[in-house]
Structure 1
Amino acid sequence: MNGDELAGVVDLFGALTRDELHDALEELAFKRGDDFDADAADETVMDALRDYYLVAVDREGGDRVLVPGPVAFPELPENAVDLPHILDVEPRDLDRETLAAAVRARLESDAADADDERARYLVDVTYDAEAWAPVDLADVRESLTE
């Protein structure tokens, strides 16, 4: 499963915890008749987080959820449309300011130790993020291009 498909699964609900996304991926594997590999699923989620297809956001109440990130073009994998009927998860909506703060913090952290290749990627992410949430990342871009 690619980052856009993971974002599509999360987008069905607005946001999912890691455990809920894990359950959704397990259900999709079952529906496809595939064996579910939890380690591979975790690695795919980590890749999607690293590449900003997903963003982790702390919600009020202390729980952390994953939302479709600024580089994602969410698409539904096969059989995903049934997930809201299968999983016991209420739809969630996070305000754009919360998303903006989360992506800013993450980009600032990533920019601090990015090599040249990663810095070029992150510059592109800053532009995507500005279209995705109300955030000005010119200062982060500047630090990445120095």
Structure 2
Amino acid sequence: MVRPEEIEGMVDALGAVTHKEIVELVQELAYTREEDMPEVEDINDLLEKAVNEHLLEIITSKELKGTDEEDEEEKEGNVEEEDKKDSYYIIGPHAFPDFPFDLSEVIDILKLDRREVDPEKLAARFSKELENSIIKLRDEIGIFASGECGGDDTSIDLPTLEQRYSDLLNLYYDYDSWIEGGFPDMENEILSISKQIDALGAAQDI
């Protein structure tokens, strides 16, 4: 079975790769190596784990070079179905790609071309994702502070907020060092959340 680092190498070599292309790459590589053909479910598990660990990230065609507004307008309609077809894997901030020695042969067999990611569009995408995470955490802090936790909010307590803040801060630093230009204006905004959580802890004599 192909190693996760090799999948990262495949993605890095091609810039941005669809799910279908990764499955074909992995299976063709196994065939070339005369190994057992990996199941799609096993490949899916590898990809899910890679995304969760930020070895790979998922984008859409909007973040690729050469995409114009007219192309995007034509895709409007069944958004949910389009999202499934319009997803691309790129290497993430934790990636350490290993390029299989027979990768170029497999790419030639499958006739795949390299795609280029637009750095400005990529920065805009992940900036928005971080902003959404900040807003969500601030909302959770507000719910906890008001004492109105209920329903799905019963899991919100101080340790949970501290852990979610830690996860957000680590993600920010990962993306800030990974994205060209980073997000320097966002650091103080995120650090200020720590003061809010500290104040909640002090108020409860924790």
With normalisation by structure 2, the TM-score equals 0.58
Kept after mapping to 1: 8 A contact 2:25/2:107:
no
Instruction: Go from structure 1 to structure 2 and tell me whether the alpha carbon gap of 1:143 and 1:57 turns closer, same or farther (over 3 Å shift).
Output: farther
Segments of 5+ residues of structure 1 without an aligned counterpart are none
Select which of 43, 46, 68 maps to 2:45.
43
d(CA) in 2 for partners of 1:18, 1:49: 12
Instruction: Go from structure 1 to structure 2 and tell me whether the alpha carbon gap of 1:15 and 1:122 turns closer, same or farther (over 3 Å shift).
Output: same
d(CA) in 1 for partners of 2:23, 2:193: 33
Residue identity matched to 1:46: E
Structure label with greater radius of gyration: 2
Partner of 1:129: 175
1:144 Cα deviation from its structure 2 partner: 7.2
Select which of 34, 55, 58 maps to 1:56.
58
Kept after mapping to 1: 8 A contact 2:31/2:37:
yes
Partner of 2:166: 120
**Residues matched between the structures, number:** 144
CA deviation profile, 1:5-31 (whole Å, cap 9, x unmatched): 322110111111111111111112222
Segments of 5+ residues of structure 2 without an aligned counterpart are 62-66, 73-85, 138-159, 198-206
The 10-residue stretch of structure 1 (15-24 or 136-145) with the greater mean CA deviation from structure 2: 136-145
d(CA) in 2 for partners of 1:25, 1:74: 15
Instruction: Go from structure 1 to structure 2 and tell me whether the alpha carbon gap of 1:141 and 1:12 turns closer, same or farther (over 3 Å shift).
Output: same
Partner of 1:69: 92
d(CA) in 1 for partners of 2:99, 2:115: 18
Higher share in helix:
2
With normalisation by structure 1, the TM-score equals 0.78
Root-mean-square deviation (CA, aligned residues, Å) is: 2.7
1:128 Cα deviation from its structure 2 partner: 2.5
Partner of 2:149: none
- Overall identity of the aligned pairs, in %: 26
Kept after mapping to 2: 8 A contact 1:108/1:140:
no
